[in-house]
Structure formats: structure tokens, C-alpha cells
């Protein structure tokens, strides 16, 4: 594969997300070096081909995914590039690179990190006032907690304020059992991304399990923020940060849905 491909892929995935963002901001955009994008069978999965040659990750691993649907989504990202290739406009490719080059090498660490989020999940920490915010939290979050208790057997304890509430080991173990259904490199990469974006492993698992839509999970994660915006407003910078996070959320949701 030509050197330009290696340079492009290094911009798409870097082990440090801050450094990756810096690379993408300062690195000149590469010219599109291929004409045709296609999908082909590759072992037990499917690969994206550029002019008949397989795309590889920054670590030089074949970018092969389990389902044809996901391969087609990746191919669409590559095909949508114009005269210049814009890595920030390829969130699915970045996520798949992360799964193959990162998560696959230490799935247990990513699994355990999601569990740590569950131990201090956003949904378990409630406001004691004002009444309107308390009601919104209850309306949005209680159904998800009820689902976790009834479907997973994971019964979490609620707390007011930000003082840490230790969760019962039985609840964490039950949550872990539910998480194992998605314990593949791609599944964990998506769930970890959604967990980090929302602050809630429970929302991530509820979405992956079909309990919530991506939009509903996103709205639930921003109950407090939306309350503040309604009463105090927001600024353009904060709005843009949220829009960027939503794009990452949609990418993770799209990958998860394509794996089904």
C-alpha cells in the first residue's frame, strides 16, 4: 500500500485521543488516491477495498468486520470523500480502527473500565432540588433502572448529590453478565464510547440491548445539562462540543446496529 495510505490511517487513529485530534487539525488533508471503493468477503467477515486493495488499520491489520452491513457503511465513508480525504468525517472508520488495533489487544481492560463506570453511574446520582429537575431525572432515568433490575437482575442504589455510593457487588456482577453479550472488540469499543460520552454504562447497555434508541439515550444523558440550558442558556462553543459528541455517539450506535 502506498505511503500516503499509512499517513492517512495514522491520522484516523492514534492511541491518545487528544493527540489524534491535534494530528487531524494540523495535518494537511491527503488527496484522494483511489477511484473505486468496494466490499469483498475476507475470511469469516468482510473487508473494504480501495481500487481492489484491502484497507488496513494504522497497525497494518486488515480492516475486516463481521457483517456485510458494517463493511458497506465503512465503504460509504471512504466513497463519500471528495478530492481531499477528511479523517474527522470518517467516525466509523476511526471506531473500527480503535477496536481492531486497541480493544482487541486487551478486551478485559475495556470490559472492566465499563464496569467501573457502572459503579458510579450517572443515573444513580440524583438532585434533591429543584422539583422540576428531580421530576425530569425520575421520569427519564427510573425506567432504565427498572429495566436493569428486571431484565438483568442488577439493582442499583440511588444517592442524592455527588458523594460516592458504593454499589452492591451483586448488582455489578449482574450488570457484567449483561455486558458479556457484547464482549467483542467492536461491541466493547462501541459500548465504551457511548459510556464515556453519556457518563452512563447503564444507558450504553440499554441502547445496545434495544431498550432505548440512540436519541433517547442521548436525551437521558443530558437531562441536567438541558435543564441548565433552559434556565441559563448556552454558548456556541458548548453547543459545538455537544454536536461533536453527538456525531461520535451516532457512529457508535451505527456500528452496534450494523453488528446485529
pLDDT 10s per residue in the chain (260 long)?
A: 444 444 444 544 554 444 444 454 456 778 899 999 999 999 899 999 999 999 998 888 989 999 999 999 999 999 999 999 888 899 999 999 999 999 999 999 999 999 999 999 999 999 999 999 999 999 999 999 999 999 999 999 999 988 899 999 999 999 999 999 999 999 999 999 999 999 999 999 999 999 999 999 999 999 999 999 999 998 889 899 999 999 999 999 999 999 98
Give the H/E segment covering residue 37. Answer: strand 37-42
Report how far residue 56's alpha carbon sits from residue 62's, in angstroms, rounded to the nearest whole number: 4
**Omega within 30 of 0 (cis) for the link into 130:** yes
> What are the cell numbers at 115?
464496569
Amino acid at each position: 500500500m502506498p505511503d500516503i495510505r499509512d499517513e492517512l490511517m495514522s491520522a484516523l487513529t492514534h492511541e491518545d485521543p487528544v493527540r489524534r485530534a491535534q494530528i487531524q487539525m494540523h495535518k494537511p488533508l491527503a488527496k484522494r488516491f483511489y477511484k473505486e471503493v468496494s466490499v469483498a468477503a475476507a475470511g469469516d467477515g468482510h473487508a473494504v477495498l480501495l481500487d481492489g486493495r484491502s484497507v488496513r488499520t494504522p497497525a497494518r491489520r486488515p480492516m475486516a468486520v463481521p457483517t456485510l452491513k458494517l463493511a458497506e457503511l465503512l465503504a460509504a465513508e471512504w466513497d463519500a470523500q471528495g478530492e481531499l480525504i477528511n479523517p474527522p468525517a470518517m467516525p466509523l472508520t476511526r471506531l473500527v480502527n480503535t477496536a481492531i488495533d486497541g480493544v482487541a489487544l486487551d478486551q478485559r481492560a475495556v470490559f472492566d473500565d465499563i464496569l467501573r463506570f457502572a459503579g458510579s453511574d450517572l443515573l444513580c446520582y440524583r438532585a434533591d432540588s429543584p422539583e422540576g429537575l428531580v421530576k425530569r431525572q425520575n421520569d427519564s432515568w427510573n425506567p432504565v433502572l427498572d429495566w436493569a433490575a428486571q431484565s438483568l437482575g442488577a439493582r442499583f442504589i440511588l444517592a442524592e448529590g455527588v458523594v460516592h455510593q458504593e454499589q452492591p457487588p451483586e448488582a455489578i456482577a449482574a450488570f457484567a453478565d449483561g455486558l458479556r453479550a457484547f464482549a467483542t472488540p467492536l461491541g466493547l469499543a462501541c459500548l465504551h464510547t457511548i459510556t464515556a460520552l453519556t457518563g452512563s454504562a447503564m444507558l450504553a447497555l440499554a441502547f445496545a440491548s434495544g431498550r432505548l434508541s440512540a436519541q433517547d439515550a442521548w436525551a437521558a444523558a443530558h437531562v441536567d445539562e438541558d435543564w441548565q440550558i433552559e434556565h441559563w442558556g448556552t454558548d456556541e462553543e458548548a453547543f459545538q462540543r455537544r454536536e461533536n459528541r453527538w456525531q461520535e455517539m451516532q457512529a457508535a450506535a451505527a456500528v452496534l446496529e450494523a453488528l446485529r
